[in-house]
Structure 1
Amino acid sequence: MTIIGVITRGKYGNRLIDTLHQHSDFSVKTASLPARLPDFLDEPEEFVKKLDINPDVFNADTIITYSLHPDITPVIARLAGQAGVSSLIVPGGSSRAPLVELDRISSEYGIYIEVDEVCCTLAEKEETAPYSSVFGLPEFEVSTKSGYISDVRVRKGAPCGSTWKMAEKLIGTKVEDAPAKAGLLIQQYPCRAVRGQLGGIHDSAELHKKAMERALITLSEK
């Protein structure tokens, strides 16, 4: 069985744990970091050691870390590499993850590391499968009846669970309105992506809108 490790920080990562349990058959192991952390750490390895992170989380195939800290994330990456984890996914973008250092760790330990600004941009790829076959860049199959959406089947969805919530609320929507409404519903769901600026939740909304457009095109070609 595939084992997914999730390292949370405060509220970040908890929705992923819920979504993993609800929409996959993966085994899930977790560890937590404090919500509040110093902005800068002179000795991050010692700091992380004192946090007493649950070591069992590193007995996983893929780890998603919501450490969201440029000093702590490399320490977690190194621990994951030493434990033989195949891949590490780092949400939150490059501003919270030192890419050059993570590249060095990746090369040193042979661990695949991906840094994503928004969790639902994760494309399916061999290095992060089977996790990325179920979670990440949204994919749907839709059915229609008399010009309305009658069913939405989520083949792959956002780790926060928003895709499945959106799918439920799209039933009964006019076909021509479905893509725009899909994007709107994602923004109404309490997504953890950054709000109030370009990118973040707006990117997530656009990804779901495009996914619905593709699903409708596929349906029309059958």
Structure 2
Amino acid sequence: MKARPPGSAQPPPTRITVFQEKNSGREKIAGINEFGREIEFAQIININDALPNLIDDPESYISDRIEGDLVLSFLKHPDLAEYLVRVCNSQKIPVITAGKKIPGAISPFTCCGLGRHQGLGHYGEQFGFPEFEVITADNKIVSLIVKRGASCGATWEAAATLIGKDPKEALQTIAREVQYLCTADPAAFDPISGKSALHYAGEVHFHALQKALRGTGAIKIKN
């Protein structure tokens, strides 16, 4: 993660605590480390135990005191995931449970489906629904800056492959590039949108690039 320049008057880093099972959040942690700015990990709590189907004592796995400004939950066991949200709510710490809808949590379908919410600090500014700033010249993309993207890092990696392409070709390929890199569960399905996680990730990146290209006036794209 990139450090704040000396003497900067920016707000302090956002401190994040991660809960995961058997390193289930490792790709997101790596992406945040590589592409995040002004973010620190307060704790990374990894549960490696073989878990029973029913957990009567979730407090034996999760402390009732959590550090940090924001919690990212990659817990798969419903008893643990729901208990963690209750603890976070009691401490008024926002908690994100991407791909798992839990009352009291912010629950985007994928990490790149996170909208803008108050209280998420630098994480919410940098990660979620993708946003691009694009420069074209001679009908080629010469610069594609990721202003906001997926915490797994797929947005930045896909953007790098589009430099030098003409805008229409870039639009035709960005979804495929993102889907190739996407770490979401390919079996995940959103009943509201009717899309799989991979399809959804590709689509939100397509629309983000389309919006950025429209803003340049270099290409006119019909809806």
In which range does the TM-score fall when normalised by the shorter chain? 0.7 to 0.9
Q: Aligned pair in 2 of structure 1 residues 35, 147: CA closer, same or farther (>3 Å)?
A: farther
Contact residue 38 and residue 122 of structure 2 kept, 8 A: no
Matched to 1:78, the amino acid is R
TM superposition shift of 1:130: 3.1
Query: Is 1:207 matched up with 2:219?
Result: no
1:27 and 2:35 are equivalent in the alignment: no
TM-score (norm 1): 0.81
8 Å contact kept, 1:31–1:54: no
Q: 2:8: which partner in 1?
A: none
Report the equivalent of 1:152.
144
Task: Report the Cα offset of residue 35 of structure 1.
Answer: 7.4
Unpaired segments ≥5 residues, structure 2: 1-11, 190-194, 219-223
Distance 2:55 2:156 in 1: 42
On the 8 A contact 1:148/1:172 being kept in 2, the answer is yes
* Counterpart residue number, 1:193: 184
Q: Percent identity?
A: 25
Q: Does 1:60 align with 2:60?
A: no
How far did 1:127 drift?
A: 3.4
Matched length: 198
Q: Is the 8 A contact 1:154 1:167 kept in 2?
A: yes
Partners of 1:92 and 1:35 in 2: how far apart? 22
Q: Contact (CA 8 Å) 1:68, 1:91: kept in 2 or not?
A: no
Q: Any unmatched runs of 5+ in structure 1? A: 104-112
Alignment RMSD, CA only? 2.2
Provide, for residues 94-149 of structure 1, a one-character-per-residue CA deviation record: whole Å limited to 9, x for no partner: 3xxxx4xx34xxxxxxxxx2112211110112133332111010000011121111
Contact 2:135 2:143 in 1 (8 A): yes
Asked whether the 8 Å contact 1:162–1:186 carries over to 2, the reply is yes
* Corresponding letter in the other structure for 1:34: N
The structure with the largest helix share of the pair is 1
Q: Is the 8 A contact 2:27 2:183 kept in 1?
A: no
What TM-score does the superposition give when structure 2 sets the normalisation length? Answer: 0.80
